Amino acid sequence: MRTMSSLVCRKNSERRRLLKAARVLVFLLMWVSVLGLTIFHGKTASGQNEYKIEIIVASGDTLWGLAKIHAPRGTDIRDYVDLMIYENNLESPIVYPGQALQLP
């Protein structure tokens, strides 16, 4: 036979269990969002770009000509050529047909 006090005790136990589960869930959600924001902020702050374009140099192509075609608007072509040399670890501004270049 169940008494009123045993029913109240069972309800309180269920409430405590639900409250604990809710606290754990809130903690996990906060932890995941902080971690996600940290990773996202780190990538955008450091300027990392996951989507680089690779081109293959054709006969007659020059770094200057490729920079004129692919440089973002408002970018100085000389600066873009220097950046292309740096990004591709080129020792000179001479490129050869069939050579793969990563565009910054």
The whole-number pLDDT of residue 62 equals 93
pLDDT of 68: 92
Cα separations in angstroms, 31 against 17, 40, 45, 82: 21, 14, 21, 42
DSSP 92: S
Cα gap 65→38, rounded to integer Å: 39
Share in percent of the chain as helix, strand, coil (round to 5): 60, 10, 35
pLDDT, tens only, 17-44: 888 999 988 888 888 888 777 776 655 5
pLDDT at residue 45 tops 90: no
pLDDT of residue 7: 64
- CA pair distance 102, 40, nearest whole angstrom: 24
Please return the burial class of 65, using the count of CB atoms within 10 Å of its CB with bins 0-12, 13-18 and 19+.
Answer: middle
- Residue 62 CB coordination number (10 Å): 13
Indicate whether 93 pLDDT > 80.
yes
**Could you tell me the pTM of the whole model?**
0.51
Q: Give pLDDT, residue 14.
A: 85
